[in-house]
């Protein structure tokens, strides 16, 4: 090891051009996936109080939003549907006239080949009890839920989704979905599995935006315990074996070590990390109080996620960050 005074690491930090030259991690709008909430009832559209800067879209405003995403050269959108009617069987998750299927169709037309359309696949926005699956005596019936997830995924692929992204942490969900896609002749539809999703307090603001808080209980019977990392590798292995094309770790910032673990254990699978609603809203809230510099804090958080090993980043900052990257 060379030592001081021979080695002076400050030399390459002396001027901006040199710092740029040796920069190891460079964010690009191409890394981003922008999550979009689409409401069925136009009266419910507009600002989300707990997520400043996020606006819920209607089916009619969605194409305009997709154009903004395309103009900023963001690679993809992740669509979440919020139906007018919810029921125990989550029928609006797959109904042909349901909000999410129609949103995918409209997004597909607006996106062309410029933006990839990803559809979140979970039942919590569509069930009247807010749980991520079909309940049997207060517990989620894993295998009964798989049938609905499979049906919904096939409908989303049919509607034009390039990628379906199951987020419900049901065992066997990727296999069930891959089977349904193949059976529907959709062998080219990708699966981005929320393989490693923790039972996190950082989803709080999202549950307002997506109206999907469980009416009773919590999600700890299927989402992972924050203390576990080896288990994350088991989840990823299973999902890859079942046919996932890409895997996600979520949330991002409290789990950057997990992103790195997955990256090292699976050198070839693309990894996405989700900077979730709580991560976003914390930066928004602290900067609104003048406690941190929003732009620098947001870019630092996103850079950290990429440096940890994520290829793609889901972020509500996508539009703003894309502008900051060219400004
Ligand atoms: C479930 C889902 C959730 C998020 C994405 N998909 C919420 C949950 O599991 O409770 C959270 C995203 C965020 O907080 O930004 N459909």
CATH number of the domain residue 137 falls in: 3.20.20.70
Give yes or no: 197 in active site.
yes
Residue 168 belongs to some domain of the structure: yes
Residue 13 lies in a domain: no
Give distance in angstroms: CA of 257 to centre of ligand 1: 20
pLDDT class of 147 with cuts at 50, 70, 90: very high
Please choose, from the candidates 157, 58, 70, 77, the residue with its C-alpha nearest in 3D space to the C-alpha of residue 117: 77
The minimum-distance atom of ligand 1 relative to the CA of 197 is 9
Closest CA to 318 of 164, 118, 167, 153: 118
How do residues 264-294 score in pLDDT, each as one tens digit? 999 999 999 999 999 999 999 999 999 999 9
| Per-residue model confidence (pLDDT) at position 250 | 98
Percent of the chain with pLDDT over 90: 97
Residue 103 resides in a domain: yes
Residues 6+ apart with CB under 8 A from 305: 252, 253, 256, 259, 273, 275, 313
Tokens of 3: 């030592």
Query: Is the full-model pTM beyond 0.95?
Result: yes
pLDDT greater than 90 at residue 327: no
> For residues 306 and 245, what is the distance between their CA atoms, to the nearest angstrom?
19
Question: Which atom of ligand 1 sits closest to the CA of residue 223?
Answer: 9
Q: Please state the rounded mean pLDDT for residues 253-262.
A: 98
pLDDT at 1 over 90: no
Residue 10 in domain: no
Q: Which long-range contacts (CB under 8 A, 24 or more apart) does 218-225 make?
A: 219/131, 219/132, 219/169, 221/139, 221/140, 222/132, 222/133, 222/140, 222/168, 222/169, 222/170, 223/169, 223/197, 223/198, 223/199, 224/169, 224/196, 224/197, 224/198, 224/199, 225/198, 225/199
Please check whether residue 317 lies inside any domain of the structure. yes
Q: What percent of the chain has pLDDT over 70?
A: 100
Residue 22 placed within a domain: no
CA 12–ligand 1 middle distance (angstroms): 42
**Where in the sequence is the domain holding 260, given as residue range(s)?**
27-326
Q: 169 in a domain, yes or no?
A: yes
pLDDT class for 198, splitting at 50, 70, 90? very high
Is 19 part of any domain?
no
Q: Give the confidence band of 2 by pLDDT, cuts at 50, 70, 90.
A: confident
How much is the mean pLDDT over the chain?
97
For residue 24, the CA-to-ligand 1 centroid distance in Å is 31
pLDDT tens digits, 83-138: 999 999 999 999 999 999 999 999 999 999 999 999 999 999 999 999 999 999 99
Q: How confident is the model at residue 158 (pLDDT cuts 50, 70, 90)?
A: very high
């Amino acid at each position: 090891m060379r030592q001081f005074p021979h080695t002076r690491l400050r030399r390459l930090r002396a001027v901006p051009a040199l710092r740029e030259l040796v920069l190891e991690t460079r964010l690009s709008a191409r890394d981003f996936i922008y999550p979009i909430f689409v409401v069925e009832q136009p009266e419910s559209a507009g600002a989300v109080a707990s997520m400043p800067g996020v606006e819920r879209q209607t089916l009619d405003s969605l194409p305009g939003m997709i154009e903004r995403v395309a103009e900023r050269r963001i690679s993809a959108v992740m669509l979440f549907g919020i139906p007018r009617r919810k029921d125990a069987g989550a029928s609006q998750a797959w109904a042909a006239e349901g909000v999410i299927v129609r949103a995918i169709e409209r997004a597909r037309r607006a996106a062309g080949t410029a933006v990839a359309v990803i559809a979140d696949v979970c039942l919590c926005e569509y069930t009247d009890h807010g749980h991520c699956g079909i309940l049997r005596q207060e517990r989620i019936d894993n295998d009964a839920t798989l049938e609905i997830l499979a049906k919904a995924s096939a409908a989303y692929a049919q509607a034009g989704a390039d990628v379906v992204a199951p987020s419900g942490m049901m065992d066997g969900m990727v296999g069930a979905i891959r089977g349904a896609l193949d059976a529907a002749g959709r062998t080219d539809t990708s699966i981005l599995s929320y393989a490693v999703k923790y039972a996190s307090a950082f989803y709080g603001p999202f549950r307002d935006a997506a109206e999907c808080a469980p009416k009773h209980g919590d999600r700890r019977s299927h989402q992972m315990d924050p203390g576990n990392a080896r288990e994350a590798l088991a989840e990823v292995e299973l999902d890859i074996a079942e046919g996932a094309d890409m895997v996600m770790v979520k949330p991002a910032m409290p789990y950057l070590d997990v992103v790195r673990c997955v990256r090292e254990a699976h050198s070839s699978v693309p990894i996405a990390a989700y900077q979730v609603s709580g991560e976003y809203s914390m930066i928004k809230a602290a900067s609104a109080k003048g406690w941190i510099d929003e732009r620098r804090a947001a870019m630092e958080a996103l850079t950290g996620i990429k440096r940890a090993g994520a290829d793609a980043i889901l972020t509500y900052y996508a539009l703003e960050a894309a502008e900051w990257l060219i400004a």
